[in-house]
Structure 1
Amino acid sequence: MKNLEPLMIFARVAELKSFTQAAESLGIQKGRVSMVVRELEHEIGASLLHRTTRTVQLTEDGRAFYSRARDLLSEADALRSIFTDPGMPLRGRLRVDMPAVLAQSVIIPALPQLLDAHPELEIELSSTDRRVDLVQEGFDCVVRLGPVVDDTLIARPLGQLRMINAASPAYLARFGVPETIEDLLSQKHRMVHYMRNFGAKPEGWEYPSGNGYKTILLPGAVRVNSVPAYHDAGLAGLGLIQGGYSSLVTHIERGALTEVLPDLRPEPLSAAFVVAHRRNLSLRVRAFMEWTEGVLKPYFD
């Protein structure tokens, strides 16, 4: 191949699943995008994309080719920046995924600072509570909360996010302020149940015990399957909740929630920065990882 432009164009089509959107994001004509991809397929002798009137999907060969193309583009990006001053502005697109509540409460409010320092940097921020596929969905990196169970991914621990117990003032006025685990039972407290899958057994109320953590099952009339809804239920006075300090602190500061049982906080939640391969650590990814770690640091135990 004479240059890397065909790989870059193909990768953008694969990630956006659209020739039109790829052309718009690259600032070129749609016809040129189609022509470049056709020439690339002819050159390598394989069909890379399934084209329909509604969408574009990678073929089996396309998925394998895309994975290697991403690695090559990342290597090229790293090679171009090998002698770059670390203080130089970043440029280009960075596609990131992280939990919705983390994006809303911490990362997005801090983004103006990052983009002011790097005006040519573009952030595509996906915020969802599901586990995205880094390779298939074309993410440069993701921030994961909790254990990273896929051993094919490369994870760098960022820290342990502080977790707290909280309730609304109206709820506490009705049931009382618990000071011990025994109070949770004797005062007949209720909890909001967060469940990824309805029908599963509730996990219960977590608290430290000895060198580990235990749970007790408190009653609760409300079950939710998203973190924002869980927090909203707590704000509405539907029960006690346990959540990340980073996402609840603004509610506490304005008096909408009160921390309870501060000496019996649940286990901190591990945060990690995850990429599909070490070769994905381009200058943009490394810089974003360091920036993210700095933004989250005040909320780590």
Structure 2
Amino acid sequence: MDPILAMRTFVRVVESGNFTRAAESLNLPKGTVTKQIQSLEERVRSKLLNRTTRRVSVTPDGAAYYERAARLLSDFDELESSMTNAQSSPKGQLRIDIGSSTAQLLVIPRLKEFCDLYPEIQVDMGVTDRPVDLLGENVDCVIRVGQLKDQSLVARRIGTLPFVTVASPDYIKRYGMPQHPSELEKRHHVVAYFTQRSRGPYPLQFRKDDEELEIMVTYRVAVNEANAHFSSVLAGFGISQCVTFQAAPHLERGELVQVLPEWTCDPLPMYVVYPPNRHLSPKVRAFVDWAAQLFSEHPHLQGR
């Protein structure tokens, strides 16, 4: 048994969902695919797939084997590619993860440019605001905002993300315009933002000259996803601090108004982050360089 072929066959069966499609994609007879899987299960002494006449499902051992096998095959393919001039033509599966508002408003509208530049890269994009375990979830790189806590990862700073305090005109008409951040604690409603790791909603930060304030908010609505959070502000649930690149078009159209404009919120750094063992990967390097160039062109991602 060729262990690489058996591993590749198993991964293809899992991803395609049945033996027939796997055989077609590998250009192998279906009987050969069946024999490869049987030989692999004998080799690892574990049942990897449950097979019926209608469908194929992965066993718990098979799911664990798939995660490791997919990663090994990706590394193997990159190794071979690096020996055949892949630096000039990156290829392979690229698994990235991006926050929801960044993906929707910044990356996806321009992603076709990246795909046209690198037609042999297959992009798998996860869109989530939750922290991602790059190694555990086999993700090549992520774009994230804020200070980095895991010092074992490699990070390239690609932007500075400013925030603006906003509310809908309807909200201001109903509750009035606050004159000082302290009014947000009791006299106003705030749309709060929280994450799975936070014990409660994030406080609002304000700075004016040498004065700094942190407002612990009371809220009627709290949201843990950036686009839903912003939609709640647009819907008039309350005041909040939103990223400038998301709020700016709505401010220009009068769908939002700026609140407490003389008070600012410290911007946050934006990074593209990847595991140290992936830093020489041609496909990851291609995406990192493209993302850095994309974000450098955006006025609201450089603190301006």
**What TM-score range do you get, normalising by the shorter chain?**
0.7 to 0.9
* CA displacement 1:212-267 (0-9 Å, x = unmatched): 95411344322223222211110011111112223333333433223333443333
Report how many residues are paired: 296
1:122 aligns with 2:122: yes
Equivalent residue, structure 2, for 1:240: 239
TM-score by length of 1: 0.76
Structure 2 SS opposite 1:94: strand
Decide whether aligned partners of structure 1 residues 65 and 54 sit closer, same or farther in structure 2, where only a CA change above 3 A counts. Answer: closer
Native 8 Å contact 2:204 2:217 kept in 1 = yes
Equivalent residue, structure 2, for 1:149: 149
- Supply the distance in 1 between the matched residues of 2:194 and 2:114 (Cα, whole angstroms): 34
TM-score by length of 2: 0.76
Native 8 Å contact 1:213 1:267 kept in 2 = no
Native 8 Å contact 1:78 1:283 kept in 2 = no
Equivalent residue, structure 1, for 2:194: 195
What code does the residue aligned with 2:117 have? A
* CA displacement 1:192-213 (0-9 Å, x = unmatched): 1223369954433221367795
What code does the residue aligned with 2:81 have? R
Equivalent residue, structure 1, for 2:85: 84
Structure 2 SS opposite 1:139: coil
Native 8 Å contact 2:16 2:22 kept in 1 = no
- Supply the distance in 1 between the matched residues of 2:72 and 2:244 (Cα, whole angstroms): 37
Decide whether aligned partners of structure 1 residues 288 and 199 sit closer, same or farther in structure 2, where only a CA change above 3 A counts. Answer: closer
- Supply the distance in 2 between the matched residues of 1:198 and 1:108 (Cα, whole angstroms): 27
Shift of 1:74: 2.4
Structure 2 SS opposite 1:132: coil
Identity of aligned residues (%): 29
Native 8 Å contact 2:100 2:225 kept in 1 = no
* CA displacement 1:21-41 (0-9 Å, x = unmatched): 983995656945554344445
Structure 2 SS opposite 1:55: strand
Native 8 Å contact 1:154 1:274 kept in 2 = yes
Shift of 1:165: 1.5
Equivalent residue, structure 1, for 2:167: 167
Equivalent residue, structure 2, for 1:268: 267
Q: After alignment, is 153-162 or 117-126 more displaced?
A: 153-162
- Supply the distance in 2 between the matched residues of 1:30 and 1:83 (Cα, whole angstroms): 29
Q: In structure 1, list runs of 5 or more residues that go unmatched.
A: none
Equivalent residue, structure 2, for 1:300: 302
* CA displacement 1:34-87 (0-9 Å, x = unmatched): 543444455x54548354666315639x8479548725642651552367385x
What code does the residue aligned with 1:103 have? A
Q: After alignment, is 111-120 or 69-78 more displaced?
A: 69-78
Q: In structure 2, list runs of 5 or more residues that go unmatched.
A: none
Structure 1 SS opposite 2:85: coil
Native 8 Å contact 2:91 2:121 kept in 1 = yes
Native 8 Å contact 1:213 1:266 kept in 2 = no
1:288 aligns with 2:287: yes
